[in-house]
Amino acid sequence: MTALTSLALRAYPPSFRARYGKELSGLVEDLPATSRTSIDLLYGAIRAWAQPPCHGIEGRLRATTATTWVTWCAGFLIVPAMNRALLDPPSAGTSSSVRTLLGIADVLFFLGWALVLLGAASVVFRIVVPAVRARAWTSLRPLMPTLTLGLIEAIGLLWLGIASNNRAEQVAHPSGLFITATVLWLIGFAAFICCLGIGPALALSRLEPGAAELRNPTRLTAAVALTLAALTGCSLAAALIAGDATLANSAIPVAVALAVGCLASLTAIVSSSRGIHALRST
Amino acid sequence: MARRKDDVAWSDPALLILGSLVSGPKHGYAIVQDTEDAVGITLGPGTLYAALARLEQRGHVRALPEEDRRRPYEITAAGSALLAQRLEAMRAFAVRGLTQLRTVQP
């Protein structure tokens, strides 16, 4: 098996690999290792992400819950990114419309987190706690990197806060150690966000909860998807109104954040509508 | 993507899989071999499993117990009905096309 083939096999969604991974890699080993095989597998992996096969209502609800969680984790950062780009500090030309739109996006940000945490609480109490009691450690293992990095990041943030408070000059003229610690904290934060998105989704797939446990989180996915779409819309409108002059120094990061936000919103809306449709058929 | 030796494609992977399974349960490699022998089309592994997953999801094929990293699949009654429907449509198309060809090229 070539490295590209192996990479392509790993590119499939976890749910697909859990169901077909072993037999698919067995088939690949039986076939001649060619670049066409690798390309075919990569194409298959893209299609599997775009339209994951769902076995039964439970599969659909799991996919919707996991996808909405991942898209929220990918999309919510658009709000702090836009605030940083447009209002920290605001340029002379920043209009009141931009401030209003970003204010609405801030409100939607907190509303979205409230909805997400409500759904997460339901998942924790109805799925994760019983799994802990049943000592299903293998299924819960994907949560470990998130918890570990979350703890490290919290301690790091505390240390950075104390260091900058104790010495005011640390902020004005930061030392090499302070800059290094801040950069390391930011890298860790990026890794934490990735783990926060992927870990719980993977654990949910492994725990294989039933439709009854996923009913409430699936209902909330529609509200989360709409909130994400609305805050992305506000951010997009703010960026368009702000124009090139205001975004001169941060046009590329803003464009990336907006693209991620739009893609995440679209994916969340499609996935939640499929989940709601599956709920109605039960 | 299915690797076709012909210039004009006439079938999709799901139909080829159902056509292969109608003679009995087969695992992935056997389906690839059978399709290649029967119609000269080589199904790539990604294409095969994308189609198999859809067919299983819609209840047209059923997975049997795994045998040494190979899981055989069998066609269901719904899959057989779908295959019969598609083959009837293809036969009608083929008969009409051949008749018209005979009238144009005596």
Compute the nearest-CA separation of A204 from chain B (Å).
Answer: 20
Nearest to A31 among B27, B45, B52 (CB): B45
Compute the nearest-CA separation of B67 from chain A (Å).
Answer: 10
Highest mean pLDDT among A230-244, B10-24, B73-87: B73-87
Confidence of residue B5 (pLDDT cuts 50, 70, 90): low
Confidence of residue B77 (pLDDT cuts 50, 70, 90): very high
Q: Do B44 and A37 touch (CB under 8 A)?
A: yes
Chain A residues within 8 A of B70 when measuring between CB atoms: 23, 26-27
What crossing angle do the helices spanning A211-246 and A78-87 adopt, rounded to 10°?
Answer: 20
B1 pLDDT more than 60: no
Shortest CA distance from A34: residue in chain B: B44
Higher pLDDT, A277 or B8: A277
According to DSSP, the residues that pair with A235 across neighbouring strands are none
Q: How many domains in chain B?
A: 1
Compute the nearest-CA separation of A242 from chain B (Å).
Answer: 45
Residue B34, C-beta contacts closer than 8 angstroms, at least 6 positions apart: B20, B23, B26
Higher pLDDT, A154 or A54: A154
| CB-based contact, A181 to chain B, within 8 Å | no
Per residue in A40-93, pLDDT (tens digit) is: 999 998 888 777 666 677 878 888 888 899 899 888 888 888 887 777 776 666
What pLDDT, on the 0 to 100 scale, is given for residue A168? 62
| CB-based contact, A23 to chain B, within 8 Å | yes
Q: Do B47 and A24 touch (CB under 8 A)?
A: no
What pLDDT, on the 0 to 100 scale, is given for residue A32? 83
Confidence of residue A16 (pLDDT cuts 50, 70, 90): confident
Give B27's Cβ-side CA count (13 Å radius): 19
Q: Do A40 and B32 touch (CB under 8 A)?
A: no
CA A207 from centroid of its chain's CA atoms: 19
Mark out chain B residues that contact chain A at CB-CB < 8 A: 1, 3, 27-29, 32, 44-50, 52-54, 56-57, 66, 69-71
Chain B residues within 8 A of A40 when measuring between CB atoms: 1, 44-47
Higher pLDDT, A211 or B85: B85
Provide the CATH number for the domain around residue B26: 1.10.10.10
Q: Do A20 and B53 touch (CB under 8 A)?
A: yes
What pLDDT, on the 0 to 100 scale, is given for residue A46? 86
Candidates A1, A12, A20, A55: best to mutate against B (most CBs of B within 10 A) is: A20
Residue A200, C-beta contacts closer than 8 angstroms, at least 6 positions apart: A66, A69, A120, A123, A142, A143, A146
Compute the nearest-CA separation of B73 from chain A (Å).
Answer: 12
| CB-based contact, A160 to chain B, within 8 Å | no
B8 pLDDT more than 90: no
Cα A206–B74–A46 angle (5° rounding)? Answer: 45
Chain position carrying tokens 């095989």: A37
B61 three-state secondary structure: strand
Mean pLDDT of A258-263: 89
Chain position carrying tokens 């992927």: A198
Per residue in A98-136, pLDDT (tens digit) is: 888 888 999 999 999 999 999 999 989 998 898 888 888
What pLDDT, on the 0 to 100 scale, is given for residue B49? 94
Shortest CA distance from B69: residue in chain A: A23
| CB-based contact, A16 to chain B, within 8 Å | yes
Q: Which domain does B21 fall in, by range?
A: 2-104
| CB-based contact, A11 to chain B, within 8 Å | no
In 3D space, the residue among A192, A185, A187, A193 whose CA is nearest the CA of residue A160 turns out to be A185
A246 pLDDT more than 70: no
Residue spans per domain, chain A = 1-50, 57-280
Highest mean pLDDT among A53-67, A106-120, A151-165, A200-214: A106-120
Residue A187, C-beta contacts closer than 8 angstroms, at least 6 positions apart: none
- Pair of tokens at residue A120: 């997460």
Per residue in A26-35, pLDDT (tens digit) is: 899 888 888 8
